[in-house]
Structure 1
Amino acid sequence: MSCLSWNCHGIENPQTVTALKRYIRLQNPAFVFIMETKLVKAELDSIFMQLEFSKMHVVECDTANGGRRGGMCLMWRDNFKFSLRSDSSHHIDGVVDDGEKIWRFVGVYGWPKEDMKYLTWKLLWDLADNQNSQWLCVGDFNEILFSFEKIGGRLRSDAKMEDFHNAIREANLDDLGYEGYSFTWTNGQTGADNIQERLDRCLGTLEWVQLYPEYHIKHLPCISSDHCPILINWYKRTRDRCTQGKGKKFSRFESMWLSDESCQTIVRDAWNGDGGSTGIQAIKDKISNCGQSLKD
């Protein structure tokens, strides 16, 4: 069973709806969390009718001053239960019953403006105050945790990244890692003007991980948006999902590796030594070796 999380950057475009249908057809998620819809409920209802879901909860976009900003929705199937606890223009919080276990799901769309990002961290703290300890927090946080989660543009302030770290720590959450391409957002420019960042991620508590120790998270291809979707699967994978060809495992980044100083050094050395896409591959190769040594 799985969940798809996607900042669609406006779903009013027919091509974006087509892309969403394709993701749903290929991945068959039990529920879908969509951010930045830029639509009101009546408009989302017409899209919902085209999809194979039974229920939907909508947070309408902001239409003040003639523009359209934000907006979220959560859609789920008949064999899946979701009970809403709270929502706002930046989150949907509820209890999930997947037929076997009960846990908490929180979808987050972080404030994009620099001077407002502290509100995202406050939101995490407020949600943690009422938490079921077994909870999963997914979405676009509009911030990175580490400097290597960005290429191009200006370097990110250590203080800003530390604010994100502190918010996660205070909420008893941890970055649950990923498989696939390292970055989830791009500014769409080419050459030296291109910027890419890992803004979308999946966080969870230790108690949630203990519920589903075989979970896996994958960054899907980016189609019709500046963000790529994230697929979270919390039941054991079949053999063909675990491998790409005989004996070849997926490359997976584990945030806990960074607690080891040697891993951090490997990341910095690989990045500074190679740069660009070659540097990214070197990081993947070397950090995978580092992660294996920690497990051993």
Structure 2
Amino acid sequence: MYACSWNVRGLNDHLKIKEVKSFIAFNKFNIFALTETRAKLANKDKVQKKFGNSWQWGDNYSHNPKGRIWLAWKPTMIHVDIMFTSDQVIHSLITDKNTQYKMYFTAVYGSHSIENKKPLWKTIHFMATHINLEWIIMGDFNSVLESDDRINGVPISTFETQDFRYLRDHTDLLVVKGIGGSYTWSNKREGMDIIFSRIDRCLSWRQKRVAQNLADIWFKLKDVSKVLKHLQVTQFANAGAACIESLKKWLNIEESIYKQKSRIQWLQAGDSNNKVFFTAMKERQAWNSIDVLYSRTGAKLD
């Protein structure tokens, strides 16, 4: 079963429709989601017919007049039950008609506002606690997750990532690594004004079982990682801060001793000058010491 999600940023151009059709056919997808089609409800059927008669469609116009998400599948190959929709999600149960294999597929198009995205995180978190089959979530989350998910522009803050990270760290969802370009959005500008962001993601969930292959081991390691992160936050956060303060204290004492012995000035506030002071101290000790004595005739005295 092959699936994809694509923020097409408009489907009212026949060239864009041709591009999407070609991509879908080349990759042999039997289910795909399109977000930000910018197609009005009155034009929806007209645009969808241009993809051919082999596709069946679902959407979320009932939650948003812009129909932010379209879901398409081949009914000859798979059966799709749309179980839940909102203005940011279409959640479905997929059944392969040949093998009867079942899985959940959720298409996402997150709000541009951090505050308006909060219902999205709550919805996915609720689903993750009630899921019982393998599950794929993909789409445009309109949210960064890691500190390196943006090039140029305003630096990424904790406020931007905290909701997405909480979802990842408090569920069994795994961020699927992609191939190709790492950044999925840009502001289309040039030079130093261009900004790249990674805001499209694919998440997955699998039933826990005895590890039998590398994929299973990876999921087991994710479980261990979650426990370690919890311990770090709840048990060692304050201890780490205390250790750092103690280390700073003893480094300052060490540096002060070297400075007094070397009799040179402090170089720059905040720098660790131990090496400089230690070298100066050794030079001063060498200058003040008497290693060899010579007579007036130049003879070395033992």
Instruction: State the SS of the aligned residue for 1:26.
Output: helix
Instruction: State the SS of the aligned residue for 2:10.
Output: coil
The equivalent residue for 2:79 is 81
Instruction: State the SS of the aligned residue for 1:148.
Output: coil
What number of residue pairs does the alignment pair up? Answer: 211
Change (3 A) 1:208 1:148: farther
Counterpart code for 2:143: E
Q: Where does structure 1 lack aligned partners over 5 or more consecutive residues?
A: 64-68, 216-254, 260-296
Q: Is the contact made by 1:81 and 1:96 (CA closer than 8 Å) also made in structure 2? A: yes
Counterpart code for 1:93: H
Change (3 A) 1:175 1:22: same
The equivalent residue for 2:132 is 132
Matched, 1:157 2:154: no
CA distance in 2, matches of 1:144, 1:94: 25
Deviation at 1:200, TM superposition (A): 0.7
The equivalent residue for 1:90 is 88
CA distance in 1, matches of 2:8, 2:142: 14
Q: Is the contact made by 1:56 and 1:75 (CA closer than 8 Å) also made in structure 2? A: yes
TM-score by length of 1: 0.65
Change (3 A) 1:159 1:114: closer
Instruction: State the SS of the aligned residue for 2:148.
Output: helix
The equivalent residue for 1:233 is none
CA distance in 1, matches of 2:92, 2:35: 16
Q: Is the contact made by 1:124 and 1:168 (CA closer than 8 Å) also made in structure 2? A: no
1:21-170 → structure 2 map (5 Å cutoff): 21-52=21-52, 53-60=54-61, 62-63=64-65, 69=66, 71-77=68-74, 78-98=76-96, 99-100=98-99, 101-170=101-170
Change (3 A) 1:209 1:20: farther
Deviation at 1:7, TM superposition (A): 0.9
Q: Is the contact made by 2:84 and 2:91 (CA closer than 8 Å) also made in structure 1? A: yes
Deviation at 1:209, TM superposition (A): 11
Deviation at 1:42, TM superposition (A): 4.1
CA RMSD of the aligned region, Å? Answer: 2.6
Q: Is the contact made by 1:133 and 1:208 (CA closer than 8 Å) also made in structure 2? A: no
CA distance in 2, matches of 1:176, 1:70: 27
Percent identical: 25
